[in-house]
Chain A
Amino acid sequence: MIHSDTKLPDLPPPRRSDGAFGWIRANLFSSVTNTLLTLFAVYLIYIGVVPVIKWALIDASWVGETRDDCAVGGACWVFIKTRLNQFVYGFYPEEFYWRVNCVFLLFASLIALLITEKTPNKKSIVIFTLTAFPVITFYLVYGGAFGLEVVETHKWGGLMLTLILAVVGIVAALPFGILLALGRRSTMPVIKTFCTLFIEIWRGVPLITVLFMASVMLPLFIPEEIVFDKLLRALIGIVMFQSAYMAEVVRGGLQAIPKGQYEAASALGLSYWKMMGLIILPQALKLMIPGIVNTFIALFKDTSLVLIIGLLDLLAIVQAGLADAKWAGYSVEGYVFVGLVFWVFCFGMSRYSQALEKKLDTGHKS
């Protein structure tokens, strides 16, 4: 029995006869439990979100110069506005803001170039970002060459310091992380043991004790003649700590490279370091980017801990601003502002890493 020998036409799907209402039914009220959950969720939103919006947007004050310009009951964003420069640049001299801005601009454009798909010559941009860019940044921000006046590190602060700590931390941790990961996979027991111990110890202790050690105890361990800048010492602590985490990311990346790649490389006569440098690491690094971004997010958030050792990062400088008697009582605004800044950065990065992970995921199957 033939049903129909002609090809039936492709019809468009039926419009949901029940429209938005049907969607709501299917997604919110499909069963009793579901309905209860929905009501619960609506209640949560009602008690959680409504007052916040009222406080932060509707009743808030935006214009003015002093606290008298702020209405009671709403958020006083005036406070943030008047101190914004300080929150971004710390106590960096105002006349030199342009130097920091240049770095911000350069950094932003490099990042933009790196995350867009179709940038030509990505390799050289990566190399530029990892080598020349830090040098340029150093001379621009710190000065001391090309006729730029020196700006001491203790004047650095705010978002700028947060970014510097995080970026330097991650960039410097990468090579150490790679070495440690290679060491941990080594067949030489001494090196393997050392790297494993190093990684596990740094991963096992809280960052604030590491920062404490770096900031006030490090000078005990080195000869009196050698002096390090405080910021530099905090950075050393962060880099040590971070390289342990980075090593684990790298190890994961290395493990994902099939054994055949190692064999093919040795069969072609490449030596260990050439094999690593030309074949394994370039492939592994690509796989590691999501992991690196995630580590970076963690580090970025952790930079707020330098407050405990007296560096004026974004959180610390906002707190210092809150201590100003002229603005006493606006701490919520301050914290919300800091939270928002951190959130925007971290959320953006985590979205990027998720997208990347997805891409790599499909990329592997094909």
Chain B
Amino acid sequence: MPEKKKDLAKGHTAFWNDPEKRSMLYQIIMLVFLIICGAYIVSNTLHNLDSRGIKTGFDFLWSEAGFGINQSLIEYDESHSYGRTFFVGLLNTILVASIGIIIATVLGFIIGIARLSNNWLIAKISAVYIETFRNIPLLLQIFFWYFAVLRPLPRPKQSIEFFDVFFLNNRGLALPDPNFVEGFGWVLVAFVLSLLVVFGVRRWAKVRQDATGKSFPIVSISLAIMLGLPALTYFIVGSPINWEVPTLRGFNYRGGITVIPEFLALLLALSVYTAAFIAEIVRSGILSINKGQTEASLALGLSRPKMLKLVIIPQAMRVIIPPLTSQYLNLVKNSSLATAIGYPDLVSVFAGTTLNQTGQAIEVIAMTMAVYLTLSLLISLFMNWYNKRIALVER
């Protein structure tokens, strides 16, 4: 370490003209200002809460909610607590957001690449897709999809059936629900075993390709093993799953799992909307890659799909990831528009019904915002980590 003697003529410097002291002063002023503002808001709020006799605190989380929710990933009925409605809503938000992210990404990449296709029609259709969905408010699209999904679907009595076990109607898509009984363990074992086998086969195929250059239909064989082995066991053990097939009783299909139309509509709207943005990001990412890379790949004889896969996309990812991250964040935040069509997400269930029944706006909104902040933070962290990883490969 160099020995750092702080410099000369300190005594002469007027306090106001010393940049360090000056910045200290600014910061103190800022801090004081913030504290005063904070205190002012807090005292006003406390006074207002008090003078209006509004209850505060988080006790309400443990009292009975008393209202129903039509989609819950965890067990829930009216007798559960408000605290549980929080988790029901949270999980529903996470469900729609995570599936939405996956679909939007896949769709966005396909369309972004199609936008650059040398098939004129495909390129134009992609452009129209992008320009249409990007420039219309999401809320409107959600309404659109909701009614577009609902309108053509029949009432439960006239459901569209597939194989007598799937039923599609305007109450949603009813699927069989697996109930596991004794002996199912073997199927699980078989599944794990098939995974191991697949792993082995892949290793072997890679070694073989490296050695002989012959490629091996890995994907189809793996799929066959992964599905076949457990299925075989399943029948050998004697069908240890009781499929609870939904049946029409009264007004609706009961039993089984139902995917509600609100979910479908929201999911469609979110993915279609976000995919338009992702497509643009992918396109500009690909275009940002130096033309020389394309030429070099072509000169080496790579075909267009291989060039995209091996040369262009890996490099474009570096440009794509940061804006892609903010699209993911937008999608998560936009999922809160669920409330417009009554999909029971966090905002609808917790910041909606629960807030209204308990009247504790500050607590509820604070919790809700904290959730979104946390989700945003987690996504950012993950994407930054991923970006670092691919950036490292690049260097």
Chain A residues near B (Cβ < 8 Å): 27-28, 30, 34, 37-38, 41-42, 44-45, 187-191, 194, 201, 203-209, 212-213, 216-217, 219-224, 297, 301-302, 304-305, 307-308, 315, 331-332, 335, 338-339, 342-343, 346-347, 350
- Known contacts A204-B376, A209-B372, A27 near B119 by CB under 8 Å: yes
Q: Are B333 and A205 in contact (CB under 8 A)?
A: yes
Bits for B362-381, please: 1 = Cβ < 8 Å to A, else 0. Answer: 10010011001100110000
Chain A residues contacting B41 (CB-CB under 8 Å) are 221-222
Q: Which of B28-61 contact A (CB under 8 A)?
A: 30-31, 34, 41, 44-45, 48-49, 51
Bits for B94-119, please: 1 = Cβ < 8 Å to A, else 0. Answer: 00000000000000000000000111
User: Is B138 on the interface with A (CB-CB < 8 A)?
Assistant: yes
User: Is B18 on the interface with A (CB-CB < 8 A)?
Assistant: no
Q: Are B347 and A206 in contact (CB under 8 A)?
A: yes
Q: Which of B309-331 contact A (CB under 8 A)?
A: 329
7 new A-B pairs (CB below 8 Å) besides A194-B30, A213-B365? Answer: A30-B119, A201-B369, A212-B365, A220-B44, A222-B44, A302-B137, A304-B139
Q: Are A208 and B337 in contact (CB under 8 A)?
A: yes
Q: Which of B203-253 contact A (CB under 8 A)?
A: none
Chain A residues contacting B347 (CB-CB under 8 Å) are 206, 208-209
Q: Are A206 and B333 in contact (CB under 8 A)?
A: yes
Chain B residues contacting A201 (CB-CB under 8 Å) are 369, 373
Q: Which of A27, A30, A41, A221 has the most CB of B within 10 A?
A: A41
Looking at B128-136, B169-177, B262-270, B387-395, the stretch in contact with chain A turns out to be: B128-136
Chain A residues contacting B23 (CB-CB under 8 Å) are 187-188
Q: Are B121 and A315 in contact (CB under 8 A)?
A: no
> Looking at the complex, which one of A37, A203, A220 makes contact with B362 (CB distance below 8 Å)?
A220
Distance in Å: Cβ of B207 to nearest Cβ of chain A = 31
Chain A residues contacting B134 (CB-CB under 8 Å) are 346, 350
A308–B352 CA distance with the chains assembled, in angstroms: 12
Chain A residues contacting B120 (CB-CB under 8 Å) are 27-28
Chain B residues contacting A335 (CB-CB under 8 Å) are 140, 143-144
A45–B51 CA distance with the chains assembled, in angstroms: 63
Distance in Å: Cβ of A98 to nearest Cβ of chain B = 29
Chain B residues contacting A221 (CB-CB under 8 Å) are 41, 44-45, 48
Bits for B67-96, please: 1 = Cβ < 8 Å to A, else 0. Answer: 000000000000000000000000000000
> Looking at the complex, which one of B27, B118, B340, B351 makes contact with A190 (CB distance below 8 Å)?
B27
Q: Which of B121-176 contact A (CB under 8 A)?
A: 121-122, 125, 131-132, 134-140, 143-144, 147
Q: List the B residue with the shortest CB-CB distance to A190.
A: B27
